[in-house]
């Protein structure tokens, strides 16, 4: 039996998942959905920074437009760490399009003019 704490809402239900993916301990159906998803295909929204040249700022914050499979996070970081952008950069600008063919873009989360 697996155990985890649900993070879908502030309640923090203590979830138990048996070998047949039956979930107990959840207060709402979202907790059960979260537990099954976390066990079968865990994903995370990636937040990090990218180097920027030609600006007083040294880095621009970015995030994935959708959650990435957890097993791809370190690969994504390797790719992101090789990127250098130039100003201007605006919130929502696509820094890396469709990373690894996952229909997820890496997008800027801050405006940097110079």
- Ordered mean pLDDT values, 10 residues apiece, the chain (114 residues): 94 95 94 94 97 96 98 98 98 97 97 93
Considering the domain architecture, whether residues 84 and 99 belong to the same structural domain is answered as yes
Please tell me whether residues 36 and 55 are part of one structural domain.
no
CATH code where residue 72 lies: 3.10.530.10
Which residue range is the domain that position 29 belongs to?
2-40
Number of domains in the chain: 2
The answer to whether the beta carbons of residues 114 and 87 sit under 8 Å apart is yes
Distance between CA atoms of residues 46 and 1, nearest Å: 29
Whether residues 50 and 28 share a domain: the answer is no
Cα 114 to the chain's mean position, in Å? 27
- pTM of this structure: 0.85
Burial class from Cβ neighbours inside 10 Å (0-12, 13-18, 19+) for residue 53 reads exposed
- pLDDT value, residue 15: 97
């Amino acid at each position: 039996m697996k155990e985890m704490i649900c993070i879908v809402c502030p309640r923090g239900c203590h979830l138990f998942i048996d070998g047949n993916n039956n979930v107990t301990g959840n207060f709402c159906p979202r907790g059960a959905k979260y537990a099954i998803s976390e066990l079968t295909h865990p994903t995370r929204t990636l937040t990090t920074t990218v180097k920027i040249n030609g600006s007083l700022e040294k880095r621009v914050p970015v995030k994935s437009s959708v959650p990435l499979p957890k097993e791809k996070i370190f690969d994504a970081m390797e790719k992101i760490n090789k990127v250098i952008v130039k100003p201007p950069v605006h919130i929502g600008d696509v820094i890396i399009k469709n990373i690894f063919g996952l229909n997820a873009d890496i997008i800027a989360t801050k405006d940097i003019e110079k």
